[in-house]
Structure 1
Amino acid sequence: SRIWAHLESHKILMVMCYIPCICWMVADTLLYIMQSGTQESLPKTCTELYAHYCSMKAEVGEPRGREPVKMEQLHGTN
């Protein structure tokens, strides 16, 4: 409910949630910030949200036991 209240008070973030994949990114980022236990304020702009999202993904990294995909694997080079 705190996420919903934040979205309602910041219309640009609410509008972003009309696109399902962006909505997932917004909700995932806001939830991560709230669960992290820090007292930092929630993002209010697209730029702040994207910066938090990138920071979150860089911090989380690859799941254990899974190797990152290399470009050569994607393109099937000889």
Structure 2
Amino acid sequence: MGNAVFLLVAIAVSILGSLIIWYRQRRPKTFMSSIEEFQREMKALGRDPGRDSPRWHSSRARRLASRQPHDGERH
């Protein structure tokens, strides 16, 4: 009898844990939730407004600037 009770308790805890995880991970089904999710993704993909150019461009620009002749030098 003790083994059966232990098995039932383990199954109950497993089901309860599964329900909690499912409830926390489920997607909202409202109309506005899909729009808000899209806006979050677009914001995550967008550039920062304070940054003028992408990071790779600024490093390339620095390399090119270091190759350019300084005042008084010729090509």
Answer yes or no: same fold by TM over 0.5. no
Larger radius of gyration: 2
Q: TM-score range by the shorter chain?
A: under 0.3
Structure number with the higher helix fraction is 2
Work out which structure has the larger RCO, using CA pairs closer than 8 Å and 6 or more positions apart in sequence: 1
TM-score (norm 2): 0.27
TM-score for both structures, normalised by structure 1: 0.26
